Amino acid sequence: MPLSFSNQRILVTGGAGFLGKQVVNQLIHAGADPAKITVPRSRDYDLTQMEACRRAVDQQDIVIHLAAHVGGIGLNREKPAELFYDNLMMGAQLIHAAYEAGVKKFTCVGTICAYPKFTPVPFKEDDLWNGYPEETNAPYGVAKKALLVQLQAYRQQYGFDGIYLLPVNLYGPEDNFDPRSSHVIPALIRKVHEAQLRGERTIPVWGDGSPTREFLYSTDAARGIVMGTQFYAEPEPVNLGTGYEISIKDLITLICELMDYDGELVWETDKPNGQPRRCLDTQRAKDKFGFTAEVEFREGLRNTIHWYRNHASRITG
């Protein structure tokens, strides 16, 4: 029996962010009343504090937990302790507060960083515990993976309906383009754009270009999260992805092509590559709640580049 969003009070942590805005839109599209969707802002609710978590979940029927302290390899290397503590405390306390408050459904959005460094490709959910995550993002990945254990334990002991979804790397308009904390696609788009503005003929890129990644467009991810919330009620984690794998070298070549940049790439091989390969097995999401990604990668990249070029002057100040 699918969960109806009609007349449900829904809390979306991180709902003002890049993915969160899309999730709110998809909730409304699926029948939620906009007036009953609450988006707590970090200035009012420090979710690392239990009191704030209890205030946030009070009177709520459904909680979708997207809020995270997250960034790319640079931030993972610079602030591993903060990433571990903040993400663990936010999630663990919010889940407990939601259980205490009698929340009917809790959807926790995890991270692909939780998978072991050398997971067989494509990543299957059953491989999640077969090794330690890639070192640069392990503190973040382990903190988020602990929330899966918590949800499974609360389901077993209390009958609490909490689900855990694992979206692959996200991208799309309104992504984080701050070079200190951005992920690979917005970081590369910004590098190319600024090289064009300055007339530079070379662009430095971290690593050697060999790692592969899979990317999920933000509207597809949001649709998957809302479908999971509505149609899935089991303890096993579920991947959200496209099943399409591309190397970093091919990715930046495509970005350069779409942005009409013909300069040279300089690979900084003293910088970390991150996890060698990432590509998901997406069959469980299709089987359990009918989710498949719809936005083709080149189209999604074009949309993201177009949005950034229209907003770059405001973003960069």
**Tokens in use for 222?**
């949001």
Contact 146, 163 (CB under 8 A): no
Query: Would you state the pLDDT for residue 162?
Result: 98
Which residue numbers belong to the known binding site for substrate? 191, 206, 213
Judge residue 197's burial from the number of C-beta atoms within 10 Å of its C-beta, 0-12 exposed, 13-18 middle, 19 or more buried.
exposed
Which residue numbers belong to the known binding site? 14-20, 144, 167-170, 183, 191, 206, 213
Query: Would you state the pLDDT for residue 316?
Result: 60
Q: For the chain, how big is the Rg over CA atoms in Å?
A: 19
174 residue type, one letter? E
State yes or no: cis peptide before 186, omega within 30 of 0.
no
217 is catalytic: no
Q: Which of 189, 184, 171, 169 shows the shortest CA–CA distance to 315? A: 189
Three-class DSSP category at 280:
strand
What are the average pLDDT values for consecutive 10-residue runs of the chain, which has 317 residues? 94 96 98 98 95 98 93 78 96 98 98 91 96 91 97 98 96 90 89 95 92 95 98 98 95 96 93 84 98 97 97 76
Buried b (16+ CB within 10 A) or exposed e, 119-157: bebbbbbebbeeeebbebbbbbbbbbbbbbebbbebbee
Query: Would you state the pLDDT for residue 315?
Result: 74
Q: Which of 183, 212, 214, 185 shows the shortest CA–CA distance to 293? A: 214
246, β-bridge pairs = 213
Distance CA 264, CA 234 (A): 49
Strands (E), 133-287: 162-167, 169-171, 202-206, 212-213, 215-217, 238-240, 246-247, 264-268
Which residue numbers belong to the known binding site for NADP(+)? 14-20, 144, 167-170, 183
| Assigned CATH topology for domain 10-172+214-243+277-294 | Rossmann fold (3.40.50)
Distance CA 185, CA 256 (A): 12
**Tokens in use for 205?**
């890129």
For 202, residues 6+ apart whose C-beta sits below 8 A from its C-beta are 195, 263, 264, 265, 266
Catalytic residue among 140, 154, 164, 217: 140
Q: Which of 227, 244, 236, 251 shows the shortest CA–CA distance to 282? A: 244
Residue whose token pair is 């754009």: 193
Instruction: Please report which helix (H) or strand (E) contains residue 115, including its range.
Output: none
